[in-house]
Amino acid sequence: MSGSELLIIFGTETGNTEALADDAKSFAKNFDLDGKVVDMDDITVEELSDSKLLLICVSTWGEGDQPTNAEDLYEAVCDADEGAMDGVNFAVLALGDTDYEFFCESGKEWDVLIEKKGGTRVNDRIDCDVDYEDDDECEEWIKTTLEKFSNL
């Protein structure tokens, strides 16, 4: 595969964002992007810093909490130096449930954090409710975002 590498990380409890990350990897080929899907538990801050194109797929658990597999990485990025995400072009796909008070809170936190650490947002975050598979909005957002990544 000759396209630019797109790092796709997922934070999940029950696999929904992992499935969306896999979808994004499949679609990425159509945009000449080489998608690489990685569990948030299996990546370091340094690897995130080195990525040029970063898609974050993350759900929210508890009462506005990060999923378990996202906690350590989130804390590590919080502790990282200012500018740690310089050169990282990113977008956040957040999954949640509007029945909860803190809808898509962890996705919102990632969105703010990566920008605060120097990252450049390529598309506005999408906050998806439980019925996200019932219409094309989520899939369309992924494709639009991939196109933006591919034009960088």
Smallest distance, ligand FMN to C-beta of residue 76, A: 20
Phi-psi map region of 75: left, alpha, beta (phi>0 left; psi -120 to 50 alpha): alpha
Smallest distance, ligand FMN to C-beta of residue 52, A: 25
Smallest distance, ligand FMN to C-beta of residue 131, A: 10
**Which lies closer to ligand FMN via its Cβ, residue 4 or residue 16?**
16
- For residues 78 and 42, the answer to whether their CB atoms sit within 8 Å is no
- For residues 137 and 47, the answer to whether their CB atoms sit within 8 Å is no
- Which stretches of the chain bind ligand FMN, using CB under 6 A? 12-17, 59-64, 67, 95-97, 100, 102-105, 130
**Which lies closer to ligand FMN via its Cβ, residue 33 or residue 95?**
95
Tokens of residue 145, six digits: 């975002």
CA 146, CA 30: separation in Å to the nearest integer?
9
CA 66, CA 60: separation in Å to the nearest integer?
5
Residue nearest to ligand FMN (CB): 96
Smallest distance, ligand FMN to C-beta of residue 99, A: 8
